[in-house]
Structure 1
């Protein structure tokens, strides 16, 4: 995809949204994103990589619009309609057909940027607010459907069994045995879980870089969840498990962190008892998923040093949780009322 200059991005914003201001490019893995500061507010013009289909982007937009309407307590990215009323435009840019949209810029810092500078009391408050935010995410997407959510997605836990062939590539023998054991257990239970546990459309990526914390408050609280590019249809429980997985990596006492997140989540969105009983299994499954995805990426690109660096926290947490009682996180909540 040819690179769009900031000036060209600003011209698109003016032509199709009547948004004018100062513009700067934002980092992005494959897409092109531009932050625009205007008198009316701040926005992000998003030009999708050609690999994204229009239904994929419609899924994201409609999910954000649904959350903004149902759960206004959080600052979801607000989808801006163009002057013709559309929320997603397909435009010719540099001889290519590109999908273009505009969303509000969400201010704040990422969870990863904030957490290391907090003391124990502030961390506990932040953990509870993270749980509440993900609970609102689940609650806001209840009943939401879109055909693109059923796409095959590498990070969908339902596809974890397909990564079994990567286990042999894990160099650490002890870690390889842990992943093998938990993957085998996940695969054995999967048919039963498909029948018993609720399936829903998920955000599927509430990691520490996609969770935004409001700045300027004495008490840091989660104000937004962004980046809806990994949405899929999977187990409802997965969004809570994913949030726990990333937050726990920052903590000396990961179990206490997870329990506080669960408490915040359940205050906003009850879960079935059966879901809570398997939360530990789902956290382990997400950690194994991460290890196997990184193992595959390293096999395909062995000279990239960043792939395995990001795995340090994942692998340390997986080793720790492998020896923890599976009721240690959710056990205190099992006698509470659930849906």
Structure 2
């Protein structure tokens, strides 16, 4: 999490100077993009390209290996047919560099990259059809399968032990629970954490492990309308939470965030699950834990957003985007319970796959 001093705050003229100095490109348009803890600028150049200038916060700047790996992953996935950004090289051939920048409190060094701009709008802005949700599940699984083939000498850096946004780190939320004091949701969160420890942890050894995006959410999946006005996925962005986790973690995270944008959130899981299992079927332990992993992610998002607001009160509106929508969903899923929610998910996934099979015959 970034506090006031770690999140960069460049002016537009500082950003334009960097693009010109390191890439010999002249911005004709430049505007800031919303961001959790880095700073991003949308850049159009006189030379004709569209880019995102990404200035990493000073905490992530101290871990250049992690940033280099994220850049490498995006290139690898792009070459394997997954629509990701790629890093542009500077005039001296670098994909990232350190720049000393004064954002108002003295010169500080930040890692900088210029990434290609992907067309499309966040999936949160379009109506969710079952087919689009199926494609979301399928794309997430295809991405994780592709990453199993990737080789890099420093891949171990993505183990990220104790990474707070990993679904392995749910018990770490207990140290930040004080942000929920006085909130009736505190008891729900405590119950979910208890179920995580008693249901998920004992079955964890049966989960298949892999490298995951870790934040396959409604703002990080971009879509574009095709000629028949149906939306297709046009981009996957923001690999900042990438870590070694489990396939079922990626699926749970994907279901969690796609629920935030649906009028009937419970219906979302079935189509995503069907798309996912068309590539990578879950085993018994993964299926049994999916419900509690989704609720755990909702709790994680709630607790960490509330905690982040204590560090960045001026960024409260952006930090709480997911949480405001997630709170009623957490309450509803918890009240309905595991058995009923799973019934909806697994039955609709089976029906969806039956329909797809008959359509192909």
TM-score, normalization by structure 1: 0.83
- Structure 1 counterpart of 2:18: 12
Whole-Å Cα distance in 1 between the matches of residues 22 and 242 of structure 2?
27
- Aligned counterparts of 2:124 and 2:212: Cα–Cα separation in 1: 22
Please say if residues 212 and 245 of structure 2, whose CA atoms lie closer than 8 Å, have aligned partners that are also in contact.
yes
Task: Tell me the number of residue pairs that the alignment of Structure 1 and Structure 2 aligns.
Answer: 327
- Counterparts of 1:290-329 in structure 2, within 5 Å, are 290-297=301-308, 306=317, 310-322=322-334, 323-324=336-337, 325=339, 327-329=342-344
1:148 Cα deviation after fit: 3.0
Structure 1 distance, partners of 2:285, 2:350, is 9
Q: Going by fraction, where is helix more abundant, 1 or 2?
A: 2
SS in 1 for 2:287: helix
Q: 1:156 pairs with 162, 166, 170, which one?
A: 166
Report the CA distance shift for 1:18/1:273 in structure 2 as closer, same or farther (over 3 A): farther
Name whichever of 206-215 and 26-35 sits farther off: 26-35
Distance 1:297 1:33 in 2: 19
Cα deviation digits, residues 192-229 of structure 1 (max 9, x gap): 33321122222111111111111465001222111111
Equivalent residues of 2:214, 2:253 under 8 A apart: yes
1:100-111 paired onto structure 2 within 5 Å: 100-111=112-123
Equivalent residue, structure 2, for 1:118: none
Instruction: Tell me the equivalent position of 1:134.
Output: 140
Q: Distance in 2 between matches of 1:227 and 1:287?
A: 19
Structure 1: state its 5+ residue gaps.
116-121
Q: More deviation in 319-328 or 87-96?
A: 87-96
Match for residue 42 of structure 2 among 28, 32, 35: 35
Secondary structure at the aligned position of 2:148 is classed as: coil
**In the aligned structure 1, how far is the partner of 2:15 from the partner of 2:163?**
30
- For residue 43 of structure 1, give the secondary structure of its aligned residue in structure 2: strand
CA distance in 1, matches of 2:144, 2:344: 20
Helix, strand or coil: the match of 1:153? coil
How far apart are residue 103 of structure 1 and its match? Answer: 1.0
In 1, Cα distance between equivalents of 2:209 and 2:69: 17
The 3 A distance-change label for structure 1 pair 56 and 125 is same
1:67 is aligned to 77
- 1:196 matched to 2:206: yes
Alpha-carbon distance between aligned partners in 2 of 1:103 and 1:189, rounded to the nearest angstrom: 41
- Structure 2 gaps, min length 5: 354-361
From the superposition, tell whether residues 237 and 4 of structure 1 become closer, same or farther in structure 2 (CA, over 3 Å).
same
Secondary structure, aligned partner of 1:251? coil
Is residue 2:340 matched to residue 1:331?
Answer: no
Residues 276 and 334, structure 1, Cα contact 8 Å, conserved in 2: no
**Deviations, residues 154-202 of structure 1 (Å, cap 9, x unaligned):** 21111110112444635343x3332222211111245433321122222
Output the aligned Cα RMSD. 3.0
Deviates more, 1:291-300 or 1:252-261: 291-300
Q: Check whether the contact 1:138–1:202 (CA below 8 A) recurs between aligned residues.
A: yes
1:55 to 58, 62, 65: 65
TM-score by structure 2 length?
0.79
Relative to structure 1, the CA distance from residue 321 to residue 191 in structure 2 (aligned partners, 3 Å threshold; closer, same or farther) is: closer
Task: Say if 1:18 and 1:204 are closer, same or farther in 2 by CA, change over 3 A.
Answer: same
- 2:260 maps to which residue? 249
Asked if structure 1 preserves the Cα contact closer than 8 Å seen for 2:58 and 2:110, the reply is: yes
